[in-house]
Structure 1
């Protein structure tokens, strides 16, 4: 038998009497409080500590915004709203959650392609900053502003002519549905001015989920240079500059946590030049996954233990429909195991067995862990999937096969 491997994510949560604790509450007791499994649980302490860590390493003049698409749970967003300088949303539904926190509307930004006129109208009426991603959106904002008698707060979302190398998702560079191509920005700046719209600045996002410190530093340097070039062609002073995010978290074996110190040092060296060129600009960074991803766990209960031709399967009451990313996105990516443990059997000593953790769905893709070494499990044990605070419940097909939804708790 093998010794049980421990992922760094597991060490973020204390273990008392062999039981994982989330928010200081033993997992077994938390399951009783929730009343059923599966569920998501987010640790308030870890959220607070992650924001503090980011602020410690990044320049003090840099504003920190939370990108709500990573996790829109209202209680979690409410908690983060007291710690960050702004919230970035991507739908009218997220806009409502952000406004309900009491965050000042002008510190809420609305990005994303294909915003409807109804969504744009809500944003303008609320006083949120709209990150326009096309000529159609600019023209619609001018019309809406005239109808409401409100001057829209307009920022141009830019598709840069470079990408964040090594990122999990490349949001910029090449042909993209996101933003306005950098080379077309001067024309649309002039169009906005001709329509009576003041452009407050730029949102430049090149990629996400990067663990390569050097790539992030290079992309941020190019972002700041691009912003200076665009500002030289703008008719209004730049007041808002969102340089995106892209910070990744380690999910799989061999991945190391991102080192923020060199990133902060590079920004600290570059920002004085930017402030000199754009004296009215408030520079911000938006982070989603990096703030919340490691603070959450997904918990499912073993309801059956099966042995098929020598292979052990732990069948749980949760799976792909609640945690699509951990399952491998319907087989569309090369599947790797998220860090998984038995939350009520956390002792690092003792023998293990090789098992596959599966869910209750009628598809072989319903996998939470494939051939992973875990302590010998019994029916009733609690399976924990770490790194589940971002793009978990809200990014999963909960209606698939009509099983119950997974509740969420912030502790």
Structure 2
């Protein structure tokens, strides 16, 4: 357990007996981990942060000192990136961009737009021309595959993402004809949460071979290649997460074989950078038994942390004992038995962990769900049943205790 998180829980319960429900973030860990990743990248590789993983202001501010840029998928994210990162480059992807978003992206100096369809290509060019601009673009490609096993696939099958591989020659010719855009290369983001180093290197080789073939076939010169994110964290067995150190030697060899005309290769990682910096801390409000099963009802649930129910898994947690007990009646507990952790929502789907063996759990103890720094609060249905939002706390080694929502 992060000692600072434990100290905060102890101090909080000593100060008052309001049920704990909070996201806790270790900013020192976040910056150290991200700096290690970014500084180890070979040659022309760059690391952009996929803001969709976690767009909290303090997270973005911490990352802005170490990453090469932000990857965004809405105008709201553009504005957050501008606020946190100043002049850091921003690349804008995702399907369904509105005219207003495209206009603002051009006006605000976004480095590059990732075009998701031929229709969007025409709109970007038309809007840019009206602004007397020439917008740098990448064409996002939905390749045929096959791809490595991963939690999610965005390509190699029917999805809403990217331009069908067979349509790329047509899209390239159109981009060359349109005055408002400058085609610089291609964007491949084919999967999410891949843990296999060898298969990921094979995937990057596939991307490189595709653009080299298109250069030869279509008479173009690719200067920028975006290889997406998809580098995974094993939430159940963190020691089996993507092995970055083992990834670096073949990545370096790949970079050394790239043509000199390819100026930059961009990663856009989110989960791999932020997942391990955060924990979701929630207090046990009730323990009950129904039809032979024990349930721990927490101050929170999937409206705060939706990932477990979305991906259909049980998220690991640690029981933090809390000795305070202010009630004049006995304290309910479960000893040496499986417990299912559920939230406060009026649905049987509000489950964060199923039948997890615990040695001891009591009403008033705090459950600490580890590795929730990515796709936790940011993807959850915050206002279902209008429960209060969790607190957000940020910890730095040199920072004193501060108010709710500040640093610790």
- Pairwise TM-score range, normalised by the shorter structure: 0.7 to 0.9
CA distance in 2: counterparts of 1:208 and 1:146, whole angstroms: 35
**Residue of 54, 60, 78 corresponding to 2:37:** 54
SS at 1:177's partner residue?
coil
User: Is 1:336 aligned with 2:313?
Assistant: yes
Instruction: After TM superposition, list the pairs within 5 Å mapping 1:7-406 onto structure 2.
Output: 13-15=1-3, 21-22=4-5, 25-29=7-11, 37-55=20-38, 57-104=40-87, 107-128=89-110, 129-196=112-179, 197-233=181-217, 237-252=221-236, 256-276=240-260, 279-308=261-290, 310-326=292-308, 328-329=309-310, 335-344=312-321, 352-406=336-390
The TM-score normalised by the length of structure 2 is: 0.86
Deviation, 1:97, is 0.6
Q: 1:235 to 1:103 in 2, by over 3 A?
A: farther
Q: 1:117 to 1:254 in 2, by over 3 A?
A: closer
- My pick for the range that moved more, 59-68 or 234-243, is 234-243
Deviation, 1:234, is 5.6
Q: Provide, for residues 324-343 of structure 1, a one-character-per-residue CA deviation record: whole Å limited to 9, x for no partner.
A: 112x22xxx5x332111123
Aligned partners of 1:40 and 1:407 also within 8 Å: yes
Q: 1:103 to 1:274 in 2, by over 3 A?
A: farther
SS at 2:124's partner residue?
helix
Deviation, 1:229, is 2.1
Aligned partners of 2:44 and 2:263 also within 8 Å: no
The TM-score normalised by the length of structure 1 is: 0.85
SS at 2:148's partner residue?
coil
CA distance in 1: counterparts of 2:8 and 2:234, whole angstroms: 25
Deviation, 1:202, is 1.4
**Alignment gaps of 5+ in structure 2:** 323-334, 396-408
Q: 1:103 to 1:85 in 2, by over 3 A?
A: farther
CA distance in 1: counterparts of 2:99 and 2:87, whole angstroms: 22
Aligned length: 381
- Tell me what 2:328 maps to: none
Higher relative contact order (CA 8 A, sep 6+): 1
Root-mean-square deviation over aligned CA pairs: 2.5
SS at 2:357's partner residue?
strand
CA distance in 1: counterparts of 2:150 and 2:226, whole angstroms: 18
Q: 1:232 to 1:30 in 2, by over 3 A?
A: farther
**Alignment gaps of 5+ in structure 1:** 1-12, 16-20, 346-350
Deviation, 1:116, is 1.0
SS at 2:55's partner residue?
coil
CA distance in 2: counterparts of 1:38 and 1:14, whole angstroms: 17
CA distance in 2: counterparts of 1:112 and 1:136, whole angstroms: 14
Q: 1:383 to 1:86 in 2, by over 3 A?
A: same
SS at 1:199's partner residue?
strand
